[in-house]
Structure 1
Amino acid sequence: MTNITSSIKEFAQQFPEKTAINSKNQTLTYADWYMLVSKTANWLHSFSFANKTISFLMPNGIPFLQLFAGASMAGWTAVPFDAKWKAAELDKRLAISCPSIVVTTKDLYHHVAHLHPFVLIWEDCREELNKKDQAFLIEKNDNMPFYMGFTSGTTGNPKAFIRSHKSWAASFLVNQHDFEMDEKEQVLIPGSLIHSHFLYGAISTLCTGGTVHLLEKFSAPKTLSLIEEREITTLYVVPTMIAAILKEDRVIERPIKIISSGAKWDKHSKQAIRNVFAHLTMIEFYGASELSYVTYLTDDHKADSVGKPCHGVEIEIRGSRSEKLEPNDIGKIFVRSDLIFDGYLHPDTKKIQTIKDEDGWATVHDMGYVDDEGYLNISGREKNMILYGAINIFPEEIEKVLSLNPAVEEVAVIGLPDPYWGQIAAAVVKGQASTLDLKRFCKKHLAAYKVPRKWFFLDEMPYTTSGKIARAQLKDSIESKVTSH
């Protein structure tokens, strides 16, 4: 596969009347979809910019996917922007990505018009691109960059990462081999396409011949209704969506496959979700924006782990001197595969900086170990690690224990400065539990030094755009409370 969109033409010829995308207001066949993507690619090809980078600020829907796929087909780099970002956040990302064109809707135009010299309104662009040819000749270069995303956007200065067609094509093979997905899939994408988990879910389905069902905005009742009405086979979720679905108190009898990412899926909700879906296949994967898929878990065996390596992925655990560690020894997780991204875009030179070593290994500085059966276990992020005296404490281990308490809805453990210990563990909890009860609970399951020394209770946690708890924002907030008292 030279370009991830090259298969769309084949599908348009093989099954032109098959539904490619189903949204609230529109249904597109593969013939329709290929025509739209080709017209978009030809429209972009008509511009004479040397820098073939397009940013777009669009709501969830078919036009978002059309611009992304059209840019990919044309050999451009697509840079999706989040409509929730404030002007300062957009300005930072525009400075990093340096797009030649920014496309947005009439409704969102005022958010970005003053930040870039060439902002186009989608409603006008659509008229222009509809005049273009219905076929496009794709260049043969699978190492061409096609997607720029951002990490650490809500926790500090954003970093732009770059992906090539080759990396996503390799990811498609994981869907096929490990997740057992094919062209018969009816895939429901209930979340925002700005989140790479949902964007990948939609595009990978369209590039492998399945049917995508889009929601404009996540709704647990609507998600469950669509699963029944449209005979959905696969559902992409993040754990916060599972929590919302559990509150609906419904039972779905038809078979469903759930693919979850974003955070570790806790045991309680795993058990509870089986009461909602009578015939359920759960697929939980561990990965990162930089690494793509790393491991996957499909059953309750070794449920505390994140599973075994995905198709085409190698894993090594290394110590502080870069030596390879034995099974069950905790160290830094290194990964080698064709799925790894090209690198980060240097904000000044605009050159792509790889994170791979000379042998192709890369790390995002997660810590963990591989057990005797080859299952990977995550201890925590190196940057989250709390140095209590001379002892390393991983917040994720404490969070896992506290989440087992039924009175705890959500929890995050952070390190706070301490003049004697250096850092101490502090638990931030959403729920009805008391400090005393939670301390006792921790003492039953954890060594004494791992029991949080400070406790804070919130009505709501701060979240990133991908639905994760925004740890840096939370830490800053708690530290400011501590210092103000």
Structure 2
Amino acid sequence: MSAITSIYADHACRHPQQLAIKTLNREVSWRDWHALVRQTANWLELKKKHNKTVGILMENGLPFLQLFAGAAAAGWTAVPLDLRWNSHELEKRLRICSPSLIVTTGSFHKKIDSMRFSVFTWDKVSGEIDRMHAYSGEEVEEESPFYMGFTSGSTGEPKAFIRSHRSWLASFKCNEYDFGLTENECVLIPGALFHSHFLYGAISTLFLGGTVYLLEKFSPSETLRIVHHYPITVVYLVPTMIEALLRKEEMVEKPLTFISSGAKWEKDSKQKIRRLFPHLLMFEFYGAGELSFVTVLSNDEHSEKPDSVGKPCYGVEVEVRTEGGKTAAPYETGKIFVKSDLVCISYIKETGVQPVQDSQGWSTVDDMGYLDEEGFLYIKGREKNMILYGGMNVFPEEIEAVLSMHPKVELAAVVGMKDAYWGEIITAVVKGEAMKQELRKLCKEQLTSYKVPRRWFVLDEFPMTAGGKIARAQLKEKLEKEVFSHL
């Protein structure tokens, strides 16, 4: 196998009438999907561009997947662009990826009209593609790049990562070995395809020969409706979506598999979801856009090791190293390093290309954690988020998980505020109606005393990154500059 789309011809031959993709308004068979991808590949190839990079600024839908898959088949690199980025954020990222052309819809055309890029609207593109013959160019090499994404760190300048076909071909094996997925799956993708978790969920399903059910945007009501009315077997989710489903308090009796990532799926949430989905198989994996899969916690292990993110995925090695670079002992916190064929090719910044792997093939995104004696991984937090309180290292993610257990907390963040005596004061910021006394009591019950926040603030809105995460640096800046209501 060379390209991630090479297998589509086999699927179209073996079951041409089977459904490949279903959206709200359209159903596409495998025969038609294969033809669309090959025609889209030919459209790109006929552009005769030296820099084979296409930006995709489009809503969730069949056209997004068609253009992404067509680019992969033609040996191009696709760059999904987030519709929520403002013009400044978008321009910064476009300078990094330097696409030779961008495909968008009419409603977003104005957003990039003045940025001196070659821009095409989908209405025009789709008409031209419909008149194309199937792509008949050279077979794409496994090592060729096909996908560029952006990291969503809480601070700093944007950084892209670029993936080869080989990295996702290796990742697809995890679907089979770690999740037990087959060609018979009907997979619901309720989240934005800009995010690698949902994009991967769709493309990996198509690789296996299953059927993708795609939502235009996430809605807990619509997600449950589709689960009830269609033969869904698998749903890709993030923990915030699971919480939204829990609030609907709707029982789902059919067998389902949930695949969750993006943040830690908390123990309390896992217990609640079992009551509403009694025949549910749960898989939680830890990974990153540039690393792909790292570890997975299987369905049976959720009850045995609820605080862990599991054991290494198929084909993945994991090491935890201390500050001096030595291998950490069981339960000793250190930096997490990963070695696998799933890792991306490199980072790309405005200043140039940066390797992801060291000379021995190991990579890290600076997450901190530890392994237990059975090889299960536990995440403490991101190194750059660590708070130094009176000489003690505190990971805000651990405290945030406790605060989020309170039913009246909608969102929680913990940061370190400068202090002349302590170095940094642990400061909690919450959105919701919870009282300070209740939250302090909860923290004292769940945490070591020095990890209990000393300062408390309430906010109606949090500054967020383009990737949908709390922007910690901006939040600290706001706390320092403005006066908010104390809890």
Is TM more than 0.5 here? yes
SS of 1:379's equivalent? strand
SS of 1:300's equivalent? helix
User: Could you list the per-position Cα deviations for residues 77-136 of structure 1 after superposition, in whole angstroms to 9, with x for gaps in the alignment?
Assistant: 101111221111111111111111111112221111111241111111112122221243
1:74-93 matches, within 5 Å, as 74-93=74-93
Partner in structure 2 of residue 472 of structure 1: 473
Partner in structure 2 of residue 383 of structure 1: 384
Partner in structure 1 of residue 118 of structure 2: 118
Q: Provide the rounded CA distance (Å) in 2 between the counterparts of 1:483 and 1:256.
A: 44
Give the 3 Å change call, closer, same or farther, for CA 442–168 of structure 1 in structure 2: same
Q: Provide the rounded CA distance (Å) in 2 between the counterparts of 1:262 and 1:469.
A: 13
Q: Provide the rounded CA distance (Å) in 1 between the counterparts of 2:153 and 2:338.
A: 24
User: Could you list the per-position Cα deviations for residues 411-470 of structure 1 after superposition, in whole angstroms to 9, with x for gaps in the alignment?
Assistant: 211111112211111011123222223223322332222111110112344444544333
2:255/2:280 contact within 8 Å kept = yes
User: Could you list the per-position Cα deviations for residues 202-250 of structure 1 after superposition, in whole angstroms to 9, with x for gaps in the alignment?
Assistant: 1111111010001111111110010011120000111111111111121
Moved more, 468-477 or 142-151: 468-477
Q: Which amino acid aligns with 1:344?
A: Y
Partner in structure 2 of residue 249 of structure 1: 249
Q: Provide the rounded CA distance (Å) in 2 between the counterparts of 1:269 and 1:470.
A: 24
Identity %: 54
User: Could you list the per-position Cα deviations for residues 288-333 of structure 1 after superposition, in whole angstroms to 9, with x for gaps in the alignment?
Assistant: 1111110111222110111111101101111111111111111111
SS of 2:457's equivalent? strand
Is there any run of 5+ residues in structure 1 with no aligned partner, and where? none
Q: Note if 1:324 corresponds to 2:338.
A: no
Partner in structure 2 of residue 280 of structure 1: 280
Partner in structure 2 of residue 368 of structure 1: 369
Q: Note if 1:336 corresponds to 2:344.
A: no
Partner in structure 2 of residue 305 of structure 1: 308
1:263/1:468 contact within 8 Å kept = no
Cα deviation for residue 258 of structure 1 reads: 0.5
2:158/2:349 contact within 8 Å kept = no
SS of 2:328's equivalent? coil
Q: Provide the rounded CA distance (Å) in 1 between the counterparts of 2:81 and 2:14.
A: 34
Q: Provide the rounded CA distance (Å) in 2 between the counterparts of 1:126 and 1:283.
A: 37
Cα deviation for residue 275 of structure 1 reads: 2.2
Give the 3 Å change call, closer, same or farther, for CA 138–424 of structure 1 in structure 2: farther
Q: Provide the rounded CA distance (Å) in 2 between the counterparts of 1:280 and 1:365.
A: 33
User: Could you list the per-position Cα deviations for residues 147-193 of structure 1 after superposition, in whole angstroms to 9, with x for gaps in the alignment?
Assistant: 01111377442111101101111110001100000110000001111
Q: Provide the rounded CA distance (Å) in 2 between the counterparts of 1:241 and 1:476.
A: 29
Equivalent in 309, 314, 317 of residue 314 of structure 1: 317
Partner in structure 2 of residue 459 of structure 1: 460
1:412-427 matches, within 5 Å, as 412-427=413-428
How many equivalent residue pairs? 483
Give the 3 Å change call, closer, same or farther, for CA 138–269 of structure 1 in structure 2: farther
Q: Provide the rounded CA distance (Å) in 2 between the counterparts of 1:154 and 1:40.
A: 36
User: Could you list the per-position Cα deviations for residues 365-406 of structure 1 after superposition, in whole angstroms to 9, with x for gaps in the alignment?
Assistant: 111110011100111110010011221111122222323334
Q: Which amino acid aligns with 1:49?
A: K
1:62-81 matches, within 5 Å, as 62-81=62-81
SS of 2:308's equivalent? coil
- What TM-score comes out, normalization by structure 1 length? 0.96
Q: Which amino acid aligns with 2:2?
A: T
Q: Provide the rounded CA distance (Å) in 1 between the counterparts of 2:192 and 2:152.
A: 17
Q: Provide the rounded CA distance (Å) in 1 between the counterparts of 2:76 and 2:21.
A: 23
User: Could you list the per-position Cα deviations for residues 243-293 of structure 1 after superposition, in whole angstroms to 9, with x for gaps in the alignment?
Assistant: 111111211111110111111111221111122212101111111111111
Q: Provide the rounded CA distance (Å) in 2 between the counterparts of 1:483 and 1:282.
A: 40
1:461/1:469 contact within 8 Å kept = yes
- What TM-score comes out, normalization by structure 2 length? 0.95
Partner in structure 2 of residue 207 of structure 1: 207
Q: Provide the rounded CA distance (Å) in 2 between the counterparts of 1:157 and 1:167.
A: 25
Moved more, 460-469 or 33-42: 460-469
Q: Which amino acid aligns with 1:83?
A: L
Q: Which amino acid aligns with 1:383?
A: K
Partner in structure 1 of residue 221 of structure 2: 221
Q: Provide the rounded CA distance (Å) in 1 between the counterparts of 2:423 and 2:109.
A: 48
SS of 2:208's equivalent? coil
Moved more, 428-437 or 4-13: 428-437
Moved more, 398-407 or 198-207: 398-407
